[in-house]
Structure 1
Amino acid sequence: MASSNTNTPQTEFATVEETRDLAASFAASLQQQQNHGSNANPNEDGISARDWALFRDPVLHNERLEAIRQKKGYIIDMDGVIYHGSNLLPGAKEFVEFLEKNNKKFLFLTNNSAPTPRELKQKLERLGIDVTEDHFFTSGQATAYFLASQMPEGGTVYVIGEPGLSWALYDKGFFMNDHNPDYVVLGESSAYNFEKLTKAVQLVQNGAKLISTNLDVETLDSQGRKIPATGAFTACVELVTKTKAFYCGKPSALIMRYAQRVLGLSRLETCIIGDRMDTDIVAGISSEIDPVLVLSGVTEMSDLNLFAYHPYVILGGVYEIPNDDDKNKVSDSDLEEASRRASYL
């Protein structure tokens, strides 16, 4: 059974050789775990034969991995896929280099509405990956896109969140108002308290529409302990006001459509790579974008039986994707044609 706790950390000062050694060690450890259970009936561990085939069958796994390599666009979760905390995961830098070398389009997509794209760029830069700001998209931006679609002329919002969310809303013509706003918007924040939640409840009762950047009910602190997240606080306001929030982040297909629009590609030419079955993978399924599960984050093989759906393919981590085959390269003319096709969808 593959575990997300397998020797994955990489310090931000690691050399290329050290990174490759870590990736090789990580892959070998996963292979050892696979071999350990290779003679067992997968169902004995609650793992279906289908899921095992997606992970290690030499035909099905490799065929689908090859199909992923030939995609033109990649929507990529960050935590658990590219890094854990302040540590890069094995092969993450090589994966981004593979995307750039082969002229792929890619977007880092996160349910965390707190940071701005510039802050996310700076974080990856500290970890040794240098990409431009336009490669990042947050649930805060998705929320701002949605509100702009509802009120193109702009409006007012009461926000419980961090600067990344406020910045995205300001950018789309929305302004802060704690008296009679059009919307109450809840996002990631360490500043939730009784007073702010009470204010949100009262404003919703007075007619403001309730919006949540995402419905993740929990996250982890710096020590790996569970703490309540946006979805938990949203549920509190929903329960008291007897209303339902509209949420914009994963697993909503809405944020996936926005991501596709940013990439300028159709769903058939795009995949999503993530470590969570309940957000990343179901977001791909609901938007008909091939979902790739990596076991470098929170999901383990033994968790898959809890869900009524399967990913397109299962990888130990993004280190499996890079290779030197020239057929994975995308020409500028191919991208232009793909963009024209997508504009009609």
Structure 2
Amino acid sequence: METVRPVETWLTDMDGVLVHEEDAIPGASDFIEALKASGKKFLVLTNNSIFTPRDLRARLLGSGIDVPEESIWTSALATADFLADQRPGGTAYVVGEAGMTTALHEIGYVMTERDPDYVVLGETRTYSFEAITKAIRLIEAGSRFIATNPDPSGPSPQGTLPATGSVAALISTATGRQPYYIGKPNPLMMRSALNRLEAHSETTVMIGDRMDTDIISGLEAGIRTVLVTTGSTRPDMIDTFPYRPTRVVDSVADLVELARAGSGEM
């Protein structure tokens, strides 16, 4: 039988695993502290491209969870990583927030409305009809269409909000062009995180709350997966999917001892 390798690296989703909006999920802070004490490498992943890692660190800290800035990996950073590899020193027209524009500036990209190499669509809470129209016309003129993630909606204290996937569908309907999505469930998001940590998929575990993004992207990247039932996927929904996580737990609190062990197996 194949020997199960010990866990050396942890990747974890943020929303639904560590927090619900501004509220920490019980055990989340203990889990992060256990990871830091173990000395194992880890990243907190999010498809949200609105905020920079510094912003997200402050938001998590406000919820009582102390995650170092360098341990946060967003779809904006993964998108910038991809574009730096595909077309170094390129240009982009961005529909999004500071998380996306900052990530692109840091790889040397120029933001422009004049014949950009890419139209990059990210998450934003202030979608502008004018900006979307500009994006449509640039794509029609030949700019390549990139979107940070395909999530059609997101939560808020007031209820459901339209997310990147919904706006991408609007632009696709108008142009007949589909975007290339970088974030989960594209395993590229996982592979870019592994590269950042110089980690190996066989000794890494991905924790998530969604079967259709976190678990499938981990599976396709060759990573062991843990589904927590504190988020989007309810326990009764698991068997409706044609794939399964390596393990299912009630919450991240159930993983604290494994994280604390440092060299534990799963």
Q: TM tier, shorter chain?
A: over 0.9
Identify if the C-alpha distance between structure 1 residues 288 and 143 changes in structure 2 by more than 3 Å, giving closer, same or farther. same
Among all aligned residue pairs of Structure 1 and Structure 2, give the percentage whose two residues are the same amino acid: 42
| Mapped contact 2:35–2:259 kept (Cα < 8 A) | no
**Matched residues in 2 for 1:161 and 1:170: separation?**
13
Matches within 5 A, 1:1-345: 70-152=6-88, 154-223=89-158, 225-323=159-257, 328-330=261-263
| Mapped contact 2:206–2:224 kept (Cα < 8 A) | yes
| Mapped contact 2:38–2:259 kept (Cα < 8 A) | no
**Which residue is equivalent to 1:43?**
none
Letter matched to residue 130 of structure 1: D
**Matched residues in 1 for 2:33 and 2:127: separation?**
39
1:270-327 superposed Cα distances (whole Å, 9 cap, x missing partner) = 011010111100111111101110001111012123311111100100101122898x
SS at match of 1:199: helix
**Matched residues in 2 for 1:329 and 1:81: separation?**
20
**Matched residues in 2 for 1:118 and 1:100: separation?**
18
Letter matched to residue 290 of structure 1: R
Aligned length: 260
| Mapped contact 2:95–2:131 kept (Cα < 8 A) | yes
SS at match of 1:322: helix
| Mapped contact 2:31–2:259 kept (Cα < 8 A) | no
* TM-score, normalization by structure 1: 0.73
**Matched residues in 2 for 1:325 and 1:247: separation?**
31
Identify if the C-alpha distance between structure 1 residues 218 and 181 changes in structure 2 by more than 3 Å, giving closer, same or farther. same
| Mapped contact 2:12–2:206 kept (Cα < 8 A) | yes
Cα displacement (A) at 1:155? 1.4
* TM-score, normalization by structure 2: 0.93
Letter matched to residue 125 of structure 1: L
**Matched residues in 2 for 1:172 and 1:317: separation?**
36
**Matched residues in 2 for 1:247 and 1:283: separation?**
13
Identify if the C-alpha distance between structure 1 residues 164 and 215 changes in structure 2 by more than 3 Å, giving closer, same or farther. same
SS at match of 1:321: helix
Cα displacement (A) at 1:194? 2.2
1:182-204 superposed Cα distances (whole Å, 9 cap, x missing partner) = 11000001121322211111000
**Matched residues in 2 for 1:324 and 1:110: separation?**
23
Letter matched to residue 14 of structure 2: M
Gaps of 5+ in 1: 1-66, 331-345
SS at match of 2:67: coil
**Matched residues in 2 for 1:167 and 1:102: separation?**
32
Moved over 6 A (4+): none
Identify if the C-alpha distance between structure 1 residues 324 and 173 changes in structure 2 by more than 3 Å, giving closer, same or farther. closer
Letter matched to residue 195 of structure 1: E
SS at match of 1:115: coil
Letter matched to residue 226 of structure 1: T
